[in-house]
């Protein structure tokens, strides 16, 4: 997979309110409060809604996704998400 050097040159892949699905298990890298390091925060296939769209290093979009089943708000990149078909 070739990663865009400056993802921000293109429009965001998702917008606030979009329903998305996690394409992978997401583990705590130590930045999620109240969870142990390495603990699975989000399971592959879990659905959520984009709560906010931000940026990281002025290069990448970060999508704050509120996952319903786990009740967690987690920041993810576009390649870790898939839009849920209505």
Cα(81)–Cα(86) distance, integer angstroms: 15
| Centroid of chain to Cα 72 | 11
Question: What DSSP designation does 64 have?
Answer: E
* pTM metric for this prediction: 0.85
The two beta strands, 81-83 and 19-22, are antiparallel
pLDDT of the residue at 4: 57
CA 50 to chain centre: 8
pLDDT of residue 3: 56
Q: Residues 47, 20, 49, CA angle at the centre, nearest 5°?
A: 75
- pLDDT tens-place string over residues 16-74: 999 999 999 999 998 888 899 999 999 999 999 999 999 988 889 999 999 999 999 99
């Amino acid at each position: 997979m070739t990663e865009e050097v400056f993802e921000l040159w293109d429009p965001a892949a998702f917008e606030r309110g979009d329903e998305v699905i996690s394409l992978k298990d997401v583990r705590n890298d130590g930045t999620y409060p109240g969870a142990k390091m390495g603990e699975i925060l989000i399971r592959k296939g879990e659905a959520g809604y984009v709560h906010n769209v931000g940026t990281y290093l002025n290069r990448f979009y970060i999508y704050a996704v509120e996952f319903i089943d786990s009740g967690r708000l987690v920041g993810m990149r576009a390649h870790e998400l898939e839009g849920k078909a209505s």
